[in-house]
Amino acid sequence: MFEKILIANRGEIACRVIKTARRMGIKTVAVYSEADANARHVRLADEAVLIGPAAAKESYLVIDKIIAAAKQTGAQAIHPGYGFLSENEDFCHACDEAGVVFIGPPVAAIQAMGSKSEAKKIMGAAGVPLTPGYHGDDQDPELLKREADGIGYPVLIKAAAGGGGKGMRLVEKAEDFLDLLGSCKREAISSFGDDHVLIEKYITRPRHIEIQVFGDSHGNCVYLFERDCSVQRRHQKVLEEAPAPGMTPERRAAMGQAAVDAAKAVGYVGAGTVEFIANQDGSFYFMEMNTRLQVEHPVTEMITGLDLVEWQLRVASGEPLPLAQEQLQIRGHALEARIYAEDPDKGFLPSTGALLHLSPPAENLHVRVDTGVEEGDEISPHYDPMIAKLIVWDQNRDRALARMLQALAEYRVVGVSNNISFLSRLTACPAFANADLDTGLIEREKAYLFPEAKATPAEVWYVAALAELLREANRGAAKARRDEDPLSPWHARDGWRLNASAKRDLIFRLGEDQKAVNVAYRAGGYTLTVDGKSVEARGELNARGLMRVELDGMRMDATVVAANEKRHVFFHGRAWQLSNVDPLHHSGEGGGAEGGLLAPMPGKVISLIAQAGAAVEKGAPLLILEAMKMEHTIAAPAAGTVKAFRFAVGDQVGDGDELVEFEVSA
């Protein structure tokens, strides 16, 4: 076995590999770009080598630098993870030449499977069923069109070198073929440097079912059953599970055998995945083989009780496979959800920024979280926006679904948009719950998955206000502990000093909706009134924002995380983002100097509401400033005209800076 390995990757998969290596007593070397100097994988590894600037093509994709790092640290083998150089023949060659073991299949297997067209030729010859289509060398557009016409529409044009859902075009009718061929080839050239395409019959309502295979250098090859990855957006997996619902032992054996045949046909060694597209009637066709560890490998680990990275390390060091086919068994059911920094409501657009608050569910026998980030880390635009993989296991699918829903409800992320609520709806959606699976599920269930904004429960306002009050009370108590006279009435937590009637308003905004929560202090709690409806509220809040809430005697748990003026309220498995609005400045008292309105405190301009040149009424909101963890609306002090704004959105302003040039009407 190796004594030291280098991991040529970053993020969760680098951390995942380090974890197993550590358990096996193998030392680890991380490589990192300048953007990742403080990344979790660097912190976890025994050693780490800087390999260049943030851009992957100047760091994680530079073969020479990675080989040099391995030589310099004395690493005997390199684990490539997935993505980056994991399926790169040149990298594999470079490892051979440097005398470093590549933890993966032989070069020939990568080469054979690197092109979807070549792979189909080899698989066809090995008797593996193929998706009907054309995968020849002749790339004449007219010939491709004739082939497509012959297959019958709809067809799929695929870049032979494609991956990650890129370089594919669905063609519904003959007239569109040549245009879409052109755009597919352009994307293929820019993404993969190769515009060779193949044409496939587009299977309607298919399932994506893949088989995990494992080979060793002694000629053994087994399959570790299937994963169903039918739930996809933009041809990319979001929710995966094992075993596949509805799979019969006979079909499993047939698909498993086809996958082993596929692996043997290319002399496969190590972990690989044979992807099939399956019809609803159970017939299946070879789609492609991924010659590496797959993102969703944890669901296979959960149902087999095996560590696939350990198997990879054993096989790469020359050991035989630890188990034979008849020793492998499926136990229970596992699901994986990919937690992404992306906005499902904006076409799954990636989101970047600092993870201001990150609180995953606790890990145990049923819940596993594979991640490469911690609170305070950055989701940068340079790499994949995945935050974590959440994996759950239980005795059967229904119980695993319940575990997933619970774990998602406990997952709290603040700082970047994320798909956690979307994943909750996906898991709960009747089609998914009933295992009515196919690759069009997300598209088909749109109405359920992207509901119109539901009315905000009144509790959201109460909980936000209670968090604010408890935070003040905690601070008062902390100050009292520090002070000489802990009995001073100035530290009292009942609000008596705030004003004579011990009543005040806290103001919050949620989208367009702004509400005042009236607070009356009571012994041990508060009476909170919103829209004329009052509740008796009490609770506790810790420094991470975890709350125990009691509203009219009803106990519930919630989290309220404050980040600048934002208040992220989490409870009942949902999340709301409120803004804390300063009651003093929303009616115009903020400015006042002749001719201009001044910043009441240092802060940042977050929105310009009025138009420059517009005539406005007294009290009309002009702009919003974020300062002191609150949002302050700067309003017109009198009827008049907005002559000009002195700052743009995003600008920092100093105390007393003129914000708006304003002319009061005569």
Kindly indicate which of the ranges 42-50, 241-249, 296-304, 542-550 contains the residues binding ligand ADP, using the contact rule CB under 6 A. Answer: 542-550
- With CB under 6 A as the contact rule, the residue among 86, 117, 232, 579 that binds ligand ADP is 232
Shortest CB 385 distance to ligand ADP, Å = 18
- Please name the residues in contact with 300: beta carbons below 8 A apart, sequence gap of 6 or more: 212, 224, 225, 227, 242, 306, 308, 334
Shortest CB 296 distance to ligand ADP, Å = 12
- With CB under 6 A as the contact rule, the residue among 141, 150, 152, 164 that binds ligand ADP is 164
222 versus 274: smaller Cβ distance to Mg ion: 274
Shortest CB 92 distance to ligand ADP, Å = 19
213 versus 551: smaller Cβ distance to Mg ion: 213
- The per-residue DSSP string of 19-86 comes to HHHHHTT-EEEEEEEGGGTT-HHHHHSSEEEEEE-SSGGGTTT-HHHHHHHHHHHT-SEEE--SSTTT
Binding flag, residue 199, ligand ADP (CB under 6 A)? no
User: Is 292 part of the annotated catalytic residue set?
Assistant: yes
Residue 323 neighbours by CB distance under 10 Å = 16
For residue 414, list its beta bridge partners: 357
Binding flag, residue 562, ligand ADP (CB under 6 A)? yes
Positions 265 through 304 that interact with Mg ion (CB under 5 A): 275
Binding flag, residue 162, ligand ADP (CB under 6 A)? yes
Give the nearest residue (CB) to ligand ADP.
Answer: 562
3-state secondary structure (DSSP) of residue 572: coil
Shortest CB 629 distance to ligand ADP, Å = 6
Going by DSSP bridges, is the β-strand pair 349-350/342-343 parallel, antiparallel, or unpaired?
antiparallel
- List the helix and strand counts (H, then E) for the chain: 17, 39
2 versus 153: smaller Cβ distance to ligand ADP: 153
The distance in angstroms from the start CA to the end CA of the chain is 87
131 versus 417: smaller Cβ distance to ligand ADP: 131
119 versus 222: smaller Cβ distance to ligand ADP: 119
Rounded-to-integer distance, Cα 245 and Cα 420, Å? 23
Instruction: Kindly name the residue from 169, 233, 292, 338 that is annotated as catalytic.
Output: 292
In terms of Cα–Cα distance, which of 431, 436, 271, 413 is closest to 343? 413
Q: Which helix (H) or strand (E) holds 387?
A: strand 386-394
Assess contact for 131 and 285: CB atoms under 8 A: yes
Q: Which does 251 bind (CB under 5 to 8 A by kind): Mg ion, ligand ADP, none?
A: none
Positions 45 through 74 that interact with Mg ion (CB under 5 A): none
Kindly indicate which of the ranges 74-82, 158-166, 377-385, 389-397 contains the residues binding ligand ADP, using the contact rule CB under 6 A. Answer: 158-166
Positions 366 through 425 that interact with ligand ADP (CB under 6 A): none
Assess contact for 585 and 577: CB atoms under 8 A: no
Residue 661 neighbours by CB distance under 10 Å = 15
Kindly indicate which of the ranges 62-70, 216-224, 319-327, 537-545 contains the residues binding ligand ADP, using the contact rule CB under 6 A. Answer: 537-545
Tokens of residue 168, six digits:
């594919």
135 versus 158: smaller Cβ distance to ligand ADP: 158
Instruction: Give the burial string for 44-60 (b: 16+ CB within 10 Å, else e).
Output: bbebbbbbbeeebeebb
Question: Which amino acid is residue 134, in one-letter code?
Answer: Y
Rounded-to-integer distance, Cα 276 and Cα 284, Å? 6
Q: Which does 541 bind (CB under 5 to 8 A by kind): ligand ADP, Mg ion, none?
A: ligand ADP
Question: Which amino acid is residue 298, in one-letter code?
Answer: P
202 versus 662: smaller Cβ distance to ligand ADP: 202
Positions 577 through 616 that interact with ligand ADP (CB under 6 A): none
3-state secondary structure (DSSP) of residue 258: helix
In terms of Cα–Cα distance, which of 354, 355, 341, 357 is closest to 545? 357
Binding flag, residue 560, ligand ADP (CB under 6 A)? yes
Rounded-to-integer distance, Cα 251 and Cα 228, Å? 14
**424 CA to centre of own chain:** 13
Positions 126 through 155 that interact with ligand ADP (CB under 6 A): 131
Positions 484 through 523 that interact with ligand ADP (CB under 6 A): none
Could you tell me how many residues of this chain bind ligand ADP (CB under 6 A)?
32
Shortest CB 87 distance to Mg ion, Å = 11
Tell me the CB-side half-sphere exposure of residue 523, using CA atoms within 13 A: 0
Kindly indicate which of the ranges 101-109, 214-222, 293-301, 463-471 contains the residues binding ligand ADP, using the contact rule CB under 6 A. Answer: 463-471
Q: Which does 131 bind (CB under 5 to 8 A by kind): ligand ADP, Mg ion, none?
A: ligand ADP
3-state secondary structure (DSSP) of residue 460: helix
Shortest CB 21 distance to ligand ADP, Å = 28
Binding flag, residue 567, ligand ADP (CB under 6 A)? yes
Shortest CB 630 distance to ligand ADP, Å = 11
Shortest CB 590 distance to Mg ion, Å = 56
Letters for 260-299 (x = contact with ligand ADP by CB under 6 A, - = none) are ---------------x-x---------xx-----------
Rounded-to-integer distance, Cα 107 and Cα 91, Å? 9
Assess contact for 31 and 42: CB atoms under 8 A: no
Shortest CB 55 distance to ligand ADP, Å = 23
Positions 420 through 459 that interact with ligand ADP (CB under 6 A): 439
Tell me the CB-side half-sphere exposure of residue 437, using CA atoms within 13 A: 25
Q: Which does 164 bind (CB under 5 to 8 A by kind): ligand ADP, Mg ion, none?
A: ligand ADP
Q: Which does 241 bind (CB under 5 to 8 A by kind): ligand ADP, Mg ion, none?
A: none
Decide: residue 192, CB within 10 A, 0-12 exposed, 13-18 middle, 19+ buried.
middle
Shortest CB 263 distance to ligand ADP, Å = 17
Binding flag, residue 200, ligand ADP (CB under 6 A)? yes
Rounded-to-integer distance, Cα 661 and Cα 638, Å? 13
Positions 602 through 641 that interact with Mg ion (CB under 5 A): none
Binding flag, residue 206, ligand ADP (CB under 6 A)? yes
217 versus 359: smaller Cβ distance to ligand ADP: 359
Could you tell me how many residues of this chain bind Mg ion (CB under 5 A)?
1
For the chain, what's the residue count?
666
Contacts by 281-287, CB closer than 8 A, 24 or more apart = 282/248, 282/251, 283/129, 284/129, 284/209, 284/251, 284/255, 284/258, 285/129, 285/130, 285/131, 285/132, 285/203, 286/119, 286/120, 286/123, 286/128, 286/129, 286/130, 286/131, 286/258, 286/262, 287/131, 287/208
Binding flag, residue 565, ligand ADP (CB under 6 A)? no
117 versus 131: smaller Cβ distance to ligand ADP: 131
Assess contact for 62 and 52: CB atoms under 8 A: yes
Shortest CB 486 distance to ligand ADP, Å = 21
Residues of the shown chain interacting with ligand ADP in the complex, contacts defined by CB under 6 A: 131, 156, 158, 162-165, 200-203, 206, 208, 232, 235, 275, 277, 287-288, 439, 467-468, 471, 541, 543-545, 560-562, 567, 629
Residues of the shown chain interacting with Mg ion in the complex, contacts defined by CB under 5 A: 275
Catalytic positions: 292
